[in-house]
Amino acid sequence: MALFTCLATLLACVSARLAIEGRVERQPIFRRLRGGSEADAQGLRGGAEADAPPPPRVMFVCRANSCRSQMAHGLFNKLTDGSSGASCGFRASELNPHAVAVMAEIGIDISEHTSNAIAEYDPSAFDAIICVCGCAAEVPGEWKVGHFEDWSLDDPPELDPGDRSVYRRVRDELKERIEALAKRLHVAGCGLGLGPLRGGQAAAAGGVRDEVKEYYGKVLQKSADLQTNACCTAVELPQEVKAAIGKVHPEVVSKYFGCGLCVPEALSGLSVLDLGCGSGRDCYVLAQLVGESGSVVGVDMTDEQLSTARQHVAWHADAFGYARPNTDFKQGYIEDLKGIGLGDETFDVVVSNCVVNLSPDKAAVLREAFRVLKAGGEMYFSDVYADRRVPPHLRDDPLLYGECLGGALYWNDFLALAKAAGFADPRLVEDAPITVANPALEEKLRGIRFYSATYRLFKLPGRLEADCEDYGQAVVYKGTLPGRAAAFDLDSHHHIEAGKVFPVCGNTYHMLASTRFRQHFEYVGAHPHEAGKSAHFGIFDGCGKSLPFASASAAGAGGQCC
């Protein structure tokens, strides 16, 4: 556990430096490639006590090392009460006098800073590299081997060279981000450490939740701040959804961190629950699709995200032309919906967008979703899955967890959990591979493949079987679902054209006949399980399982017995 009580919070290199059994190599804090000395480095350490671990060494990078990186440098050193921060640019220039002035306003003197080029430094001398200008692609690869973040902040001189209010705004944004960074790095006096993410169920859950709150509430300010595309929607949205998104407040949209499409069909007049609603983007889209007679409840644990969602409730009701809002936002944990007053069989549909992977107890999330759904209801959600079980050291990496990768379930484990919760026969709707453009993260993951996938889980107790069985049934789609006149896709293997007889297994039959879709289809054959009314013809070929025995032709050819 000693490894996790040091900096298991975003930095592989920090963990190595503050490693188990006190094997700490105290390198010079800034090891310049040109000039510099151990004596200089000793002075920069600020007289840290020999028996105390030195503060993490952080380099802030921007283009010219004149404004944003210099302010970040000064703020970090002020917060850490030392000199463990540094700054540089792709080229050296001159210190911006307006940056110096607005920093002096808050009691931080950066007037003695010099502007330096990145080539003057050795990246291995730092525990974290923070690019503050949104130009990660221009940072040399060796600077992104350890922990690396790319903060995209406005450049005050570009917006208005002489307007100090712009400098103050960027300064204050840097202050908030650096306070959060200092906490994640376990800097003494800068907030509570995050500790291990796992071990001891209650403590583990708290650790994960705190880390997720920090990341989505403090670190991420907009979707562009994400380090991978794991939480970025890649699917083509239906026209009605595009139109609905266009009516959502811009601030709500900018703070959306979803990974897929979480808007199922046939929602008019229904009650919908959004697990991990974040800023409320999907809730406000759904609010339009359920109509004024429907309702949408969003649940999230993050203060900052809920504040954004709640702030615009009345605005959206007015924009949609509703007499009163049909949205409500509740703060709580998606593993304990009962704790925030959500009763049994309350909702027609439960949605979730790239959130279940962030939960420390995914089985509880699925059980609670099943509990609050009405019979015939559906959980329709997008999330991130891995092609194998993610090893513990990656699950315990807070950046990977916050980026929806560390907590990703192995797809086959997910299927088992869903079935155990009561959702027999999970259906995959669509999927897409996730790309990790961040070289440091890609190196950590080493071959694990991740996917963004959308699943349908129906609550049909006593109706669905473990496998797809053939009862000689078929359906005919009427073409009546809005926006889907030509065909309806139940899932990735059931593209049902309007007007065409479409043979189905017993499970698919019930997913249509025993749910909100019933009125949009005509049915051929009796309901399975109705005694004396339905013949069973064996396994339904093409639905994932086939007759395990040798074919009739092969069996007839041999004539041998065992």
Annotated catalytic residues are: 62, 133
Residue 285 dihedral angles phi and psi, to the nearest 5°: -70, -50
Which position has the token pair 């593209």?
495
Give the amino acid at 493. H
- Interacting residues of 447 by C-beta distance below 8 A, sequence separation 6+: none
Burial of 474 (0-12, 13-18, 19+ CB in 10 A): middle
The closest of 376, 368, 297 to 337, measured between CA atoms, is: 368
Q: CA end-to-end span of the chain, whole Å?
A: 56
The neighbouring-strand residues paired with 475 are 502, 523
Cα dihedral sign, 524-527-531-536: positive
**Structure-token pair, residue 39:** 């004596």
The DSSP output letter for 391 is P
The partner residues of 62 in beta bridges, in order of sequence, read 89
Separation CA 332–CA 167 (nearest Å) = 37
Q: According to the 3-state scheme, what is the secondary structure of 536-557?
A: CCCECCCCCCCCCCCCHHHHHH
What whole-number distance in Å separates Cα of residue 405 and Cα of residue 383? 10
C-alpha 289: how far from chain center:
24
H or E stretch at 126: none
